[in-house]
């Protein structure tokens, strides 16, 4: 499906991107490099979408479906511990989630698809998205209208998955990745002397009660047939041994596998915080810092992706799974809330570091598998009759 020179260019691009990581909404070098290459390939390119996003379009001029393929571009604020020839040259920034590989794979697919343009009908949009890591770049791309004019019929993307056989293509229909809701809660009490707690309102005690009781939302409010977890990721209060502080701050992270689970967990949080604070004479502030909905794959499109991958033999290992491979969040869910589609996975190898780890590295050997799946989708769904 790909020539040796195409694969060589894809690996070189992946290494270049890995060496020059850029954080969310700072992907200026990356987006400029991609836009230039896409224009050279013959795509119609729009820059500066949602800040630093790039949209490349292929209009075949023949009636047919409107498809979208997406890759994310941003890196993470992690100090890389690898010693490869292409490790990050920017201290404190690293492609620790494989977005360099996602981008390189879609660029490899873009080159192969353009070579096949005469055999295709319809319209293709390639979305190179900023700020997947905590910036809700997908939501901003949707707000910028990337799914419209013409309206996208179906959208596809993928993520590499360490811990799975390298090159394994797999799909989970329905709930496939967790939703992410992060709240900042400030409990306001009344400061006082540690020897006289009855004259104070202790926000540490109130906060600790919240830490204990939020787990009841998981155990008694969410259905046991649904997945979800609540983590209190930070708890800050006080700095003196003999003083009850005036306030305490908590960061509460909620993961959910579906809108139903999210409603049970998120819906009960403020009621619980309000009740605990009221019972002890405290007040509170609550800020919803981040919301990424659960990623729910369309069942029919999930089956179609697997069928097409098998027909085109993009990998010797292709399967459907019936369990959520991760509760990690993925903002591709914002696209799937608007149009049907499928987010598939490609195994990165059973050995090696996991995502968001200082030793993680994308496996170059899976580039033709991921890119080949995109090409197979284009060839099958946009084929001229």
To the query of whether residue 181 is one of the catalytic residues in this protein, the response is no
Q: Which residues partner with 66 through β-bridges?
A: 123
Counted residue by residue, the chain has a size of: 385
User: Annotated catalytic residue: which of 132, 139, 181, 298?
Assistant: 132
The answer to whether the annotation marks 123 as part of a ligand binding site is no
Q: Closest Cα partner for 125 from 148, 91, 95, 96?
A: 148
102 labeled part of a ligand binding site: no
Is 288 assigned to a binding site? no
- CA-based Rg of the chain, rounded to a whole angstrom? 23
Q: Do the annotations mark residue 198 as ligand-binding?
A: no
Angle at 16 (CA atoms; ends 15, 21), nearest 5 degrees: 100
Distance CA 129, CA 27 (A): 9
Question: Annotation-wise, does 285 bind a ligand?
Answer: no
Catalytic residue among 74, 139, 181, 331: 74
Q: Is 74 a catalytic residue?
A: yes
Distance of CA 295 to the CA centre of its chain: 9
The residue with tokens 């027909």 is 311
Nearest to 251 by CA among 262, 273, 235, 270: 235
Residue 231 half-sphere exposure toward CB, CA atoms < 13 A: 10
Residue in 181, 184, 324, 185 with CA at minimum distance from that of residue 255: 181
Task: Tell me the binding residues for Mn(2+).
Answer: 97, 99, 133, 159, 356
Catalytic (active-site) positions? 74, 132
Task: Tell me the binding residues.
Answer: 97, 99, 133, 159, 356
């Amino acid at each position: 499906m790909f020539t040796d020179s195409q694969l060589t260019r894809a690996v070189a691009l992946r290494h270049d991107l890995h060496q020059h990581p850029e954080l969310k909404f700072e992907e200026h070098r990356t987006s400029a490099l991609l836009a230039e290459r896409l224009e050279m390939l013959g795509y119609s390119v729009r820059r500066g979408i949602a800040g630093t996003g790039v949209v490349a379009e292929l209009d075949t001029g023949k009636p047919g479906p409107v498809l979208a393929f997406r890759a994310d571009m941003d890196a993470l604020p992690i100090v890389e511990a690898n010693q490869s020839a292409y490790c990050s040259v920017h201290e404190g920034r690293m492609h620790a989630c494989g977005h360099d590989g996602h981008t390189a794979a879609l660029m490899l697919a873009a080159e192969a698809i353009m070579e096949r343009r005469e055999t295709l009908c319809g319209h293709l949009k390639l979305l190179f998205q900023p700020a997947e890591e905590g910036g809700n770049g997908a939501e901003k791309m949707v707000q910028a209208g990337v799914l419209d004019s013409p309206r996208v019929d179906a959208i596809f993307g993928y993520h590499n998955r360490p811990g799975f056989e390298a090159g394994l293509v797999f799909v989970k229909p329905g709930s496939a990745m967790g939703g992410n809701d992060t709240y900042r809660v400030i409990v306001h009490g009344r400061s006082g002397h540690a020897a006289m707690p009855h004259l104070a309102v202790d926000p540490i005690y109130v906060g600790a009660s919240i830490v204990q009781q939020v787990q009841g939302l998981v155990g008694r409010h969410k259905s046991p047939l649904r997945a979800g977890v609540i983590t209190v990721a930070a708890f800050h209060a006080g700095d003196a041994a003999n003083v009850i502080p005036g306030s305490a701050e908590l960061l509460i992270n909620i993961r959910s596998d579906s809108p139903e689970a999210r409603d049970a967990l998120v819906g009960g949080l403020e009621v619980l915080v309000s009740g605990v604070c009221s019972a002890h004479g405290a007040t509170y502030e609550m800020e919803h810092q981040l919301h990424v909905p659960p990623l729910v794959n369309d069942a029919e499109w999930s089956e179609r992706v697997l069928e097409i991958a098998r027909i085109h033999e993009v990998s010797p290992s292709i399967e459907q799974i019936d369990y959520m491979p991760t509760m990690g969040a993925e903002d591709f869910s914002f696209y799937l809330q608007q149009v049907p589609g499928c987010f598939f996975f490609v195994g990165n190898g059973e050995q090696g570091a996991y995502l968001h780890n200082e030793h993680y590295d994308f496996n170059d050997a899976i580039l033709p598998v991921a890119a080949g799946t995109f090409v197979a989708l284009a060839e099958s769904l946009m084929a001229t009759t």
